[in-house]
Every structure is written in structure tokens, then in C-alpha cells.
Amino acid sequence: MRRRYVWVVSAMGLVGSAMGARGAAPASAGTINGKVTYTGTPPKMKPIDMAKEPSCAKQHATPVTTENVVTGPANALGDVVVYISAGDEGSSTPSEAVRYDQKGCQYVPHIAVMQVSQPLEIYNDDQTSHNIHPLAKVNPEWNKSQPIGAPPIHTTWEKPEFIPVKCNVHPWMHGWFLVLTTSHYAVTGDDGAFSVKGLPPGKYTLTAWQEQFGTHSHDVTIAGTETKTVDFAFKARPY
């Protein structure tokens, strides 16, 4: 289990409710709660050697490992994005920016969730230069250098897409931009729990995405202000 950072994050038809609903919830709104777990044996995360970048290495009191599978107690899976993938009527684009940090030669958060056209601000908090390279395919791909002390990069994504991110200077740095079309999504913590709130009555498809294990989906019907429970279990492989 890895150390977690707590940051304020405003986070294809890909859509999604963070740990709560964005904006005002309708008068009659339901909630979907649940937990994401795994069966089998998850892969062992590999240690990251930052010796070539001592300014970053000294920021980590404990060894840093890769983050493509985050596990917790009772077979919980963290960093799973749970979102409404069908049935949502959409929502207005938030004006607040999503913040994405390069800190200790890691991306914080590892997975940043945002809506189409929502502002994104990328910061370099390190005493070294970074080269942030989102590998977009639907949106335009770009690659920008961000030296020490440089101002944040301001950008937006105009189409829904799950975009892997890398640093061309530090090859161990990997992260994700998940660009969604609505505000109903959640990102699980180390306990695997999620809560998707503010859902008007209707029929929905709820999808859970994990960067290495893929996706699982469930159909859910919400009536009035009821709360439904939906759990997901991914099959883990030790490689």
C-alpha cells in the first residue's frame, strides 16, 4: 500500500461524481455507494530508483513504487474511477480548475479527473525541470517543458478521453487525465469505497475503470432519493 496525498481536485461516451456531486443536486436525487475489490493476486509494484534526481529522492522518506495498482485492506482497490457511462443527461462545465502537481518526481494525484472544457493547471513544485507529455489520441497531443519556477501550464481538453501522461525527462513518471462529459463520478481511496451522488431518477450504467485491469459495468435504476449499493470485483493477475 502506498502513501496517499490529499489534494483538492476538481476532477469516452465517458462520463463521471467525485466524492460528491458538483453543483446543486436536483430536489429528488439518489446515490450509488459501493466498494471496489479484487480477487486473485495483484502484481507487485516495482521500486522506483530516483538516484539520478537527488532533489526528488530526498523528498521520499520511504521507497517509492509504481502506482498502476493500488491495494488496501480486505482486497480493496484504490485509484479506481467509478462513473456514469450511460443515462446521464450531462451537466455544465465547472469553472474551477483542476490542479495537477509534479512533486517529488511524481504526479499528484496519480489520476486527475476533469470534465470536458474544464480548466486544468499543471504545476512544477520540484527543483528540477519536467517535460509533461499527455499522450492524447482523440484530443491534440502535446509535449511541453516546465523548468524550475515556471508558471503553471493552463489548458483544457475539448473531447472526452482517458489520456496517459508521462515525463520525457524522468521515465518513471506516469499518470492519467480522465476527461469526462458529466460530473457524476468518484475515485476510490485505499479502502476501495466510492459514492456517486446527485443522480436524478432514471436508468444508468455505472462503470468502474482501473488502469491495468480494465472496466466493469452495472446497470442501475434510481427512483427518488433512494441509495443503491453496487460493488465491483476485478480479477487481478500477478504480472
Q: Looking at residues 69-92, what average pLDDT do you find?
A: 93
pLDDT at 114 over 50: yes
Contact predicate 174/53, CB 8 Å: no
Question: Position 75: which residue type?
Answer: N
Mean per-residue pLDDT over the chain, rounded: 90
**Strands (DSSP E) found in the chain:** 30-40, 70-72, 76-78, 81-86, 98-103, 106-108, 111-115, 120-124, 130-134, 144-146, 153-155, 161-167, 174-180, 185-187, 193-199, 202-210, 214-222, 227-229, 232-236
Percentage of the chain exceeding pLDDT 70 = 88
pTM of the model: 0.87
